[in-house]
Structure 1
């Protein structure tokens, strides 16, 4: 049974804020992109525990990740094409089967292919499929080779090298962005190792902050042109990409540890952390729609609107079992949820988990 820890929900809350800000606030978006998606893979790895029952693990993650993926994919596609459908109905336009297939098939194919092909409302969908594949592959690797630390290091270095080769030779958009798994896997592994072996401390925080600020300075004065975008397999400078991403990850973790027990801020961040997947899916449609109206077009308003509206929808979703299943991938029974909540509370009274 997974045991939730309060500060990790706070960490996830900070992480989803960086995603929303990174997609809206232009002056800082470049720097946030250096670490915000590696951060999610790192946190997922931090929470990983070995699952020897492959089929059960696969089914659990399929329900939790892919059911909401396809639910939101269908919903957003329907919403985008709904005006066309209504217009055709109002004007009594009847498309022949041939024309219907010709016009709809490319859309369906693009949506199912997913990955980097999806943009705008669908721009974050690549992360969910990439995370699903990363989790399955890492669990397989860890069960087979996890006892051999040096071999795992070699495997992760090999995965990183494949990612960099893909960066320099990129020509193909892979389905579901499966090629990005090569870069996601090392961050997932680093998160898992961080949970097992050490707690980040003040000295490492200072070092991480110095590295990140130095990278911003070098980029600002054009001594180092650094860009990192996992979705587009744009990985920037060799080695520096991992170091800078880890610096951002360290900074956010320390802020989470600092803020999680602060009543108002900590509670708000924990709530956003719990709602992070819904916010991930909804923030782009919300902020893009708001941008079309001058009164809501300011970047700060769109950030707040995307976070608040997404969170309200999350709370509504939690109240209906069919919505929890479709959009949260939550197929647990009320008794199971109550049991998990009790276990979680007992963990919180013991403080932060020992590594």
Structure 2
């Protein structure tokens, strides 16, 4: 991919990261914006990640490929997990919380991770899910033909929906409580759904790298149709990968694909006509933003009063400043931000 194409990828991911922040706004929005954001923003990240996937077909390459991805994804995960936890526990002790059972229970939830950790860790599930989706697809592309890959992926897709059916319709409670009734470490089970989106990014790479006008129009029609059907109460569609909420075998592919086509195609056009370096900068610091935007609000909302604009601004600016600080002043700071590379010059991770 040339630099021009990479610019639109960065711009698109930067915009998606803004949607991630907005989607975690704790207040009420007049327009059902959060609902529509959840329809596609996380699947879009998996799709775009799949677009950069390279199969490890050569002998002896598998181990080094897995090691590289572990360093790029899990090491930053552990760094931010520990950093946030140390600050949280310091605040708890400072406020007088010396209940050992509280800390033991909290540590256990952090170990399990995924959908079982909330609050400051609300988005941590994505990285572990991406890691396992990557491993699954690495295995598929190394040992199976394309036809067998698709058959296995279809099976995974159906299993994921059966699990969602169990959680949403058999187990009592809302999606959060119901999904947490199914024990799983690091949301590994969500990788069964995520790997399907990841595979679509890889299989449709030729389409994603240059979204033609017919595909852009198809994405627009699909997106407008879905929103219209929901707006006029023809459907009541929801998608929450973290909490196993997959409601429709057709819409769970059609809607994320439609919105992603529209988004990617639109930003390809815009990026070809003007520079959107501010969105590229957001993407550059996306890992820090993802991990810290909720925690930023937790730390600041007692001292500041702000709405969605303030929440989004703080959720972007504070993590970006923190990211710059980590890179410049912390030993191995680039490594903690996903910049591991076996080459001499490390480059930031593209998730």
Normalised by the shorter chain, which TM-score bucket?
Answer: 0.7 to 0.9
Q: What 5-or-longer segments of structure 2 have no aligned partner? A: 168-180
Which residue number corresponds to residue 66 of structure 1?
74
Distance apart, 1:42 and its partner CA: 0.4
Which residue number corresponds to residue 339 of structure 2?
330
In structure 2, how many angstroms separate the alpha carbons of the residues matched to 1:196 and 1:54?
Answer: 25
Which residue number corresponds to residue 15 of structure 2?
14
1:1-355 aligned within 5 A: 5-24=6-25, 26=29, 27=31, 28-52=33-57, 53-87=61-95, 100=100, 102-145=101-144, 148-170=145-167, 171-196=181-206, 199-264=210-275, 266-293=276-303, 295=305, 297-320=306-329, 322=331, 324-325=333-334, 327-332=336-341, 335-337=344-346
Distance apart, 1:261 and its partner CA: 4.2
Higher relative contact order (CA 8 A, sep 6+): 1
Distance apart, 1:326 and its partner CA: 5.5
1:74-129: CA deviation from partner (whole Å, max 9, x where unpaired):
111122221232355xxxx9x7xxx73x3422211110100101111100000010
Which residue number corresponds to residue 176 of structure 2?
none
CA contact (8 A) 1:324 1:331 kept: no
CA contact (8 A) 2:287 2:338 kept: no
CA contact (8 A) 2:211 2:261 kept: yes
In structure 2, how many angstroms separate the alpha carbons of the residues matched to 1:333 and 1:312?
Answer: 27
In structure 2, how many angstroms separate the alpha carbons of the residues matched to 1:224 and 1:263?
Answer: 38
TM-score by length of 2: 0.85
1:50-76: CA deviation from partner (whole Å, max 9, x where unpaired):
124221112111111111111111111
Distance apart, 1:262 and its partner CA: 5.0
TM-score by length of 1: 0.84
In structure 1, how many angstroms separate the alpha carbons of the residues matched to 2:269 and 2:297?
Answer: 29
Pick closer, same or farther for the CA change 1:173–1:222 going to 2, 3 Å.
farther
In structure 2, how many angstroms separate the alpha carbons of the residues matched to 1:11 and 1:38?
Answer: 13
Secondary structure of the 1:223 match is coil
Which residue number corresponds to residue 174 of structure 2?
none
Q: What 5-or-longer segments of structure 1 have no aligned partner? A: 342-355
The alignment covers a number of residue pairs equal to 326
Distance apart, 1:197 and its partner CA: 6.1
Kindly report the root-mean-square deviation, in angstroms, between the aligned alpha carbons of the 2 structures: 2.5
